[in-house]
Amino acid sequence: MVDKQAFVEFMVESDVLTFGDFVTKSGRPTPYFVNTGRYRTGEQIRQLGSFYADAILDKWGTDFDVLFGPAYKGIPLSVTTASALAERGHDVGFCFNRKEAKDHGEGGVLVGHAPSDGDRVLIIEDVTTAGTSIRETVPVLQAAADVSLAGLVISVDRRERGPGGGAALAEVGAEFGLTTHAIVTVHDVIELADIDADTQSRMHAYLDTYGAAE
């Protein structure tokens, strides 16, 4: 079982979850930001893999065969999570994609486990809002073999509205027939992070403007 309090504190202590004044990739002013590129030590990445592994086993059990991490941030996530799952007795393959196809050696765009027909692939990401990387990489997986998509797991669900008006993560799941799961949501962050009342108020205001209906 994932300890959500511990995960939120871990992100804050790692400077991955920060509060202040930021602008998202979509140009929205936001009072908080999640940047998994700030994990930078062996111990941090070990702990991160452990949190992901616990979340995956809670949600999917062992009903998948391969972890796939979209480049670039999904690459270390797939590796450390596969290692943590092996420590828990579930040894699965992992793979990730190159941004550009390799034209020498073994060639191709996938590195690691070569997907086979019938493989159940679980996609592992950091934070998904618009779902762009999923839309880019699902065709790559499906071109490699006749795989099935077991699901998508991310660290934080910002609970922002997608193009259809619903939660963006849920919309991505519906589009590709994926079971989606986040270790924590922004609502967990508001409840569990050690933040002042003003920051909480600003986060609620952000959700009032950009968030999906609960």
Query: Of 129-138, 148-157, 171-180, which one has max mean pLDDT?
Result: 148-157
pTM: 0.92
* Residues with catalytic function: 102, 104
Number of domains in the chain: 1
User: Do 50 and 14 meet the contact criterion of CB atoms below 8 Å apart?
Assistant: no
pLDDT (tens digit per residue) in 94-133: 999 886 655 544 556 899 999 999 999 999 999 865 667 7
- Confidence label for 93 from pLDDT (cuts 50, 70 and 90): very high
- Confidence label for 27 from pLDDT (cuts 50, 70 and 90): confident
Dig out the tokens for 151 from the structure. 């699901």
Residue-level pLDDT at 129: 59
- Confidence label for 3 from pLDDT (cuts 50, 70 and 90): very high
Percent of the residues in the chain that have a pLDDT greater than 90, as a whole number? 69
* pLDDT value at 194 more than 60: yes
Dig out the tokens for 199 from the structure. 């920051």
Domain residues for the domain of 108 are 4-210
* pLDDT value at 176 more than 50: yes
Q: Where are the beta strands (DSSP E) in the chain?
A: 17-23, 29-34, 66-69, 93-102, 108-112, 120-124, 148-157, 180-185
Dig out the tokens for 43 from the structure. 């111990």
User: Which CATH number characterizes residue 90's domain?
Assistant: 3.40.50.2020
Q: What's the average model confidence in pLDDT over 155-167?
A: 87
Q: What's the average model confidence in pLDDT over 19-29?
A: 87
Q: What's the average model confidence in pLDDT over 184-210?
A: 96
Sign of the alpha-carbon torsion through 176, 179, 184, 190: positive
pLDDT (tens digit per residue) in 37-73: 999 999 999 999 999 999 999 999 999 999 999 988 8
Residue-level pLDDT at 68: 96
Residue-averaged pLDDT of the chain: 91
Instruction: Please count the other Cβ atoms lying within 10 Å of the Cβ belonging to residue 66.
Output: 24
